[in-house]
A and B are shown apart, each in its own frame.
Chain A
Amino acid sequence: KAGVTQTPRYLIKTRGQQVTLSCSPISGHRSVSWYQQTPGQGLQFLFEYFSETQRNKGNFPGRFSGRQFSNSRSEMNVSTLELGDSALYLCASSPEGGSLRETQYFGPGTRLLVL
């Protein structure tokens, strides 16, 4: 099976702009989670989607949003970009996401640089 794919891999934006990142989970996986990774804060959970519904949310401002489509593909959007949004954004998928007993499969990430 193909792994989790994320597009684009690299992105440069300026402050105030918005950005949309895309994630295609492993075929058959219904749960998609998003994470932000920065040197200062480490890996932080953004949100999780399951069956087109946001099931869990981390402690991020409303500028960070996401959605999931009927084919389980997911997008996340960051509006009004700030310099501090520069990070590696990781997407992970799992079959059901019902519990931490399930393995999460991570994509390669999208590296976002905000200037």
Chain B
Amino acid sequence: LAKTTQPISMDSYEGQEVNITCSHNNIATNDYITWYQQFPSQGPRFIIQGYKTKVTNEVASLFIPADRKSSTLSLPRVSLSDTAVYYCLVGGHGGGFKTIFGAGTRLFVKA
């Protein structure tokens, strides 16, 4: 499983765009990149997943460069309710889950 590195924390203000970058230098050819969001005392929640280039859904965008050694989660116009921990996961092999979450990025959105 590829190891990931993310910033420990980030601060932002309401209405701003937030970009969180994750490094995964040893990503394998068949690995996918998945981001989860976790609020305090709740389980993580899926945000977005991608393999290459750009993926967008109603919540976020995910940018993946050609070498796939990093990825950037983009949250447009954040609100106070986006204050959470964001985890980047890399994997894609068969044989079930043996998920490594890493420390995640704690995003704090201020008014």
Contact = CB atoms under 8 A, between A and B. Distances in A.
B32 A55 contact: no
Contact of B43 (A50, A55, A90): A90
A31 B43 contact: no
Contacts of A31: 96-97
Interface residues of A, number: 32
Contacts of A57: 98
Contact of B32 (A4, A100, A106, A108): A100
Contacts of B32: 99-101
B99 A104 contact: yes
A42 B104 contact: yes
B87 A50 contact: no
Nearest to A42: B103
A82 B103 CA distance: 24
A99 B90 CA distance: 11
Nearest to A54: B96
Contact of A56 (B31, B42, B95, B101): B95
Contacts of A105: 46
Contacts of A109: 41-43
Contacts of B100: 45
A44 B100 CA distance: 7
Interface of A: 4, 31, 33, 35, 42-45, 48, 50, 55-58, 88, 90-92, 94, 97-101, 103-109, 111
Enumerate the 6 nearest inter-chain pairs by beta-carbon distance, A residue then B residue, closest first: A106-B43, A100-B91, A43-B101, A55-B96, A56-B98, A103-B46
